Structure 1
């Protein structure tokens, strides 16, 4: 069934003017001018084809047509308010669905989520391993972490900057372990799927791996930083479309991860 277009602003003005029987007091409530209230009432009268108010010596009076519809109108506004509260109640969910690269989850994210989870025993996390862009709606994602050069079409904030460090075991051969997206030189002696596997290969003594500094935090299993940090156009970003980004639970998680 096709729904009739409802002039909601004008109906809100009608409700206020009917309660106060004064365009001036209705304007004060709605934070507009009395002239704007009068214009909305006249436009609504034109749309509905009825007169809504009579002006008498005592002030405004409702016409029978206006009075007949006020009860249903006010019930409708109450239902709108209940609908908004029901929609907002979804923000109280304690489940967060996060997409992130596997190596970042294993070497950085999981520990931070464990710390954050201890702040509220009702928190639940759903982790999706992904290095590619996902449809936030189809995947029911709240937040994604990407190794990229910015948030793109979404809202986002950089996580840890774009610095990369080179890791190697002391005495390891000077061979490069490469992975997609790494900065710097070519001529790799080994190519692996991600920075986490590059770290594993370096720990096995194969050579040196240049990886995001974020992945080099914590226990490196004997690996040492070699040389100076390297800048890259790519860094980890926390991203989400605007509706997800504005959720209280997402804001709290982003603050915790940045902290």
Structure 2
């Protein structure tokens, strides 16, 4: 079965990030990832990663002002978007992280398309200098109504237009089950451009052993695809994280 990464934006969110990394290692995760680590000294994060032997797989660019959900598709906000991208790659370099999710924000239309693609080219240039990857992620219309990226096909079209070999899709099974469904075929179709895969129960974003998606099948399919990187557990535990981890043994 695939290896597993703990998304520390939701798991052990009550702990300081270095302690959450240690908790993930004790629980048997193979890697970690996070959302917005910027308030934490990167030296402390790097020390916890070195201590546990875990890799930090990815982090997000800043969301922007309260109520915003990213900046990179917002026309006229290019300076802020690029400052957030630079901040993310600087932090990533300090902790040995090799992927940054560039958050698009709430926007639609041709001007948003142009802004997002220009900012992604900027991000890809920065990533190339570090041997890193830029990730883009569609979000579902219920959790993020009005978000720029709505499905995997829209993301794939952007990746094809830009033609950057370090620009990849973040395939979140939770969001894409809600928006498109047919996850088995969609995973296969998007495999050539996918940089990371995440999962959670649908529709409540709870642990993956409940809800409408059979993750035993999904994990077996991903394994059969030849996917050899950790899958990201990005779910809301609904209480103490440790009490929610029964799925790990069951699905493995």
Give TM-score, length-normalised by structure 2: 0.24
Whose Rg is larger?
Answer: 1
Give TM-score, length-normalised by structure 1: 0.23
- Looking at secondary structure, tell me which structure has more strand per residue: 1
